[in-house]
Chains A and B, each alone.
Chain A
Amino acid sequence: MLFEIEVNGKTIKAKRGDTLLMALERNGIKVPTLCHIKDLLPSGACRMCVVEVEGRRGLIPACSHPVEEWMKVRTHSPRVIKARKTNTELLLSNHPDDCLYCERNGNCELQKFAEDLNVRERRFYGKKNKYKTDPSSASLLRDPAKCILCGRCIRVCEEIQKITALDFIGRGNKTQVGPAFNKGMNLSSCINCGQCVMVCPTGALAEKQYPAKLQDALHNPVMKTVIQCSPTLSVTLAEEFGLRAGKDIEGVMYAALRKLGFDYVFDTSFAADLLVYEQATEFFERLKSGANLPMFSSCCPAWIKYIEQSNPDLLTNVSACKSPQQMLGSLITNHFAPQAGIAIDDIYSVSAMPCIAKKFESQREQMTIKGITDVDLVLTTRELARLIRLNGIDIGQVDPELSDQPYQSRSSAGKMLAVSGGLTEAVIRTLHFVITGKDTNLFKLQELRSTKGRKEYFVKIGEYKLGFAVVNGIGNVEALISEIRKGRTDIHYIEVMACEGGCVGGGGQPIHPENDNVKARAKSIYELDEKESNRFAHQNASLQAVYTSFLQNPGSEISHAHLFTTYEEREVMR
């Protein structure tokens, strides 16, 4: 039911049951927020969203106060502005003044508050935080000194991802955010999904980075630098350069990477096709034998760490296929390098991913041969964009180029791994071929393209009646696992992506606290699938060539040696 309230002298419509903040936002009135996360219950801790309501003595937090009919609200009165400004100044009082050296310089919410509210001098001198950074995780760098205790990371981790690796420790001015016993993140139950990084307003949480290592490799004349780009990158990178969200700049990206000095540029979508073909074959084998069903997907490294630490008894149900990043990494070392006549030691293999868990994955013991990693360095979308800017490359002035042989072509199925449900669609297409020998016309499975946390799709392929489930957002997976433990048998294949929306919503993607570009990126991927001439992973010409010359056929011994992996039970502080 709608009713009217007065805001800043104007009448606006409000809906009963809404919070004041929702009512204001619906009418285009902006109130700054800090601890607020959309779609979660308000916490009302930061007091940045306070407004003045006539007849009320104190200021009222808009995020948590229900809108009421009698309200006369002032959102930017001098009193409100003063309160917000004081609030910001207090947050700054113990904040390290190292903005210039900070990861989030220019993209920091605290910095923006200070600027918007005209904070021009230091009125409050607090004791500076002297916490040490926590470099223990392979993916995540935690700098508690920069933390302003808004609690968003804690809430995302607990309420959305349901991992609860972080919590407030201590109380009063000694409060910190940290994992259990304030130990290293590497010992915690953190799955490296990076959603905490995406919501952190400051530089307290960021991905682990090694810019110097990469520069050394790029400028070492002996080293051959190779980079592979995730299917997600081409539809995301444009945002970082002020272009439309979701714009596909695949060719431009490859050209820019060559300008950066990479000797070879590959598309991970090729390996995504490879994964789909191998996984569909593996799945068919399991269907025939009836063993280890349902089969879980394995391409999300955050999900893999999750199941290793929480449900180790189900590890036999996880597909043994490596993720596309590691498949291509392995092919580069074992297939490309010998073919191109490059010594394995002279290859520096980099990947660009929308993900920070991929950093962890590349360091997994199972992904190394005699301690040498297949993928030496993983960059996030953000890091790659920064690298392009660092080298003064103007994206608008670069002519598109193709990626390199022998992994040049790809299908749109491989590209679909960027979105939640895309892997399943791709697997269904190839599975149809693997089972029946014919290509399907099962495209555009709307059941798998919604934004729900769990999607299910049932179809008959050949003589098999199959159920496919897709989970995105690791917080949604435990419910499905318990259904299966209780005896649910109609699901045979389960795709799990730890981030909401799949990789397009990954923890390594550009951080825009205010706009949500995930949908635009997904839309772009689906459009690409509509237009593409080859929509089947198994019809990828480069892939077929690699099978002929090297891998023989899906599930072969050589495939198993290079493209398959093992998992281990993990003891963490849960």
Chain B
Amino acid sequence: MQATLDEIINRYKPGSRESLLPLLQDIQIEFGYLNEEAILKVGRHIKLPSGKVYGIATFYDQFRFVQKGKFHIKVCRGTSCHMHGSANILREVERVLNIKEGQTTRDGRFSLEAVSCMGACGSAPVMNVNGEFKTTIAMADIAQIIDLYRNTI
């Protein structure tokens, strides 16, 4: 059963500012993202203004602020992929899905994230859909790859 937000928060001592990051991580693991309610509640629990919590959370790439889609797409923007044109790949994915990096499509099917390196530099450029790697992709492939998931239940 899914732990509730309050249960996660109460694992940590009230007023303990040092538990901010582990707390946010726990919430993200459980719910996949940090919503406003979570940030406000965390702030109140560890006695840190919500603006501060939000500021710190946005500093780290690991935190998301919108719910992940059914299919979470990661496009690698590491050095090797960059050299192989991953900027264009990312732009093409954004165009096909009609969302920006960090967003989720309105139907909740796709979400898009740019990541630094996925350790597959030899097969650059790469992207990853729910853990499945797509290697040495070209811009022309993108629409096709996404269509594959668009029609999957």
Q: What is A's interface to B at a CB cutoff of 8 Å?
A: 158, 163-171, 179-182, 188-189, 573-574
Contacts and interface: CB of A to CB of B under 8 A. Distances in A.
Interface of B: 36, 39-40, 43-44, 49-56, 58-59
Nearest to B49: A164
Nearest to B51: A180
Contact of A167 (B36, B44, B55): B55
A169 B56 CA distance: 7
Contact of A165 (B36, B43, B51, B53): B51
Contacts of A164: 49, 51-52
A189 B54 contact: no
Question: Chain B CB within 10 Å — which of A158, A181, A188 has the most?
Answer: A181
A182 B51 CA distance: 9
Contact of B59 (A165, A166, A171, A180): A171
21 contacts: A158-B49, A158-B52, A164-B52, A165-B49, A165-B51, A167-B49, A167-B51, A167-B54, A167-B55, A169-B58, A171-B58, A180-B51, A181-B36, A181-B39, A181-B54, A182-B54, A189-B49, A573-B51, A574-B44, A574-B49, A574-B50
Given A167-B52, A181-B50, 12 more contacts: A163-B49, A167-B55, A168-B59, A180-B40, A180-B50, A180-B51, A181-B36, A181-B54, A188-B51, A573-B50, A573-B51, A574-B43
B51 A189 contact: yes
Nearest to A168: B55
A179 B51 contact: yes
A536 B38 CA distance: 54
A166 B54 CA distance: 10
A189 B54 CA distance: 14
A168 B36 CA distance: 17
A574 B44 CA distance: 8
A492 B49 CA distance: 30
A167 B48 CA distance: 12
Contacts of B49: 158, 163-165, 167, 180, 189, 574
Contacts of A573: 40, 50-51
Contacts of B55: 167-169
A179 B39 CA distance: 13
A147 to B, nearest CB: 14
Question: Chain A CB within 10 Å — which of B43, B49, B51, B56 has the most?
Answer: B51
Nearest to B36: A181
Nearest to B50: A180
B51 A170 contact: no
A170 B59 contact: yes
The 5 closest A-B pairs by CB, nearest first: A167-B55, A164-B49, A180-B51, A180-B50, A180-B54
Contacts of A163: 49
Contacts of A167: 49, 51-52, 54-56
A213 to B, nearest CB: 32
Contacts of A158: 49, 52
A448 B40 CA distance: 39
B53 to A, nearest CB: 8
Contacts of A181: 36, 39, 50, 54
A166 B58 contact: no
A573 B55 CA distance: 13
A158 B53 CA distance: 13
Nearest to B56: A167
Nearest to A188: B51
Given A164-B51, A167-B52, A573-B51, A180 B39 contact: yes
Contacts of A170: 58-59
Contacts of B59: 168, 170-171
A158 B55 CA distance: 13
Contacts of B50: 180-181, 573-574
Nearest to A171: B59
A494 B77 CA distance: 58
A88 to B, nearest CB: 26
A167 B43 CA distance: 14
B49 to A, nearest CB: 4
Contacts of A171: 58-59
A104 B25 CA distance: 42
Question: Chain B CB within 10 Å — which of A163, A166, A189, A573 has the most?
Answer: A573
A209 to B, nearest CB: 25
Contacts of B44: 574
A170 B54 CA distance: 9
Contact of A169 (B36, B40, B54): B54
Nearest to A177: B55
Contacts of B54: 167, 169, 180-182
Contacts of A169: 54-55, 58
Contacts of A166: 51
Contacts of A189: 49, 51
A163 B51 CA distance: 10
Question: Chain B CB within 10 Å — which of A163, A167, A169 has the most?
Answer: A167
A513 to B, nearest CB: 25
A180 B49 CA distance: 9
A164 B17 CA distance: 15
A169 B43 CA distance: 16
A304 to B, nearest CB: 20
A472 B72 CA distance: 52
A574 B41 CA distance: 10
A157 B52 CA distance: 11
A79 to B, nearest CB: 32
A168 B60 CA distance: 12
A164 B53 CA distance: 11
Nearest to A172: B59
